[in-house]
Structure 1
Amino acid sequence: MANTYQVTCHKPDNSDPDRRIQGLGGDGWYGPIDTLIAGIESNQYRLWTTDRARNSVWVVVAKRSNGRKYLKTENDGVEPNNLLALPHCP
């Protein structure tokens, strides 16, 4: 069974033209983006956060047209982007 972690911060990658984040973190943990993607895909863990309305939303793996994977929340269709709206990780 996958371990579940709440995401409360992100680390942006300002040099990346498609704004792919470097990693996500929470209370006492931080993970680089590729490690998190692999963990979600292997069902090692599940990540969730809250949207602006304070609803719980799952973090999922998505793929751009160029094949590059990234993380987003299930309901990222409404701006602002839920993950990018989180505070920066220390």
Structure 2
Amino acid sequence: MPQQAQIKCINKDPREDRYNAITHVGGYTDRQWKITKDDAIGMIERREWEFFTMVRTHRVKVIVASRNGRKYLKTEADYDTPDNLLSLPECP
């Protein structure tokens, strides 16, 4: 069973398009963590980790999507906040 972690912050490159803007994701529990987008994608695809965000009281799963042959992270459609990841604060 994959481990689970809440993504609470991101780093992004504002010059990139919205599908490739996120460079890192991170969070904290008992300590801070931050990994690259590519590492997170690999962990999801290998079913080692499941990532999620919280929108108010709703848990929203982070998934891997692809556009023009490039993989990126996004949240499952929740019809509430379309840019859950991109709206998170910057990681330190």
TM-score (norm 2): 0.85
Matched, 1:44 2:45: no
User: Which secondary structure does the structure 2 equivalent of 1:24 belong to?
Assistant: strand
The count of residues paired between Structure 1 and Structure 2 equals 88
Matched, 1:23 2:27: no
Structure 1 runs, 4 residues or longer, greater than 2 Å off: 76-80
Structure 2 counterpart of 1:67: 69
Paired residue type of 1:81: D
Q: 1:33 aligns with which of 31, 37, 41?
A: 37
User: Which secondary structure does the structure 1 equivalent of 2:61 belong to?
Assistant: strand
5+ residue gaps in structure 2? none
* Amino-acid identity (%): 41
RMSD: 1.6
User: More strand per residue: 1 or 2?
Assistant: 2
Structure 1 counterpart of 2:14: 14
User: Which secondary structure does the structure 2 equivalent of 1:43 belong to?
Assistant: coil
5+ residue gaps in structure 1? none
Contact 2:19–2:72 under 8 Å retained in 1:
no
Distance 1:74 1:17 in 2: 19
Q: 1:86 aligns with which of 85, 88, 92?
A: 88
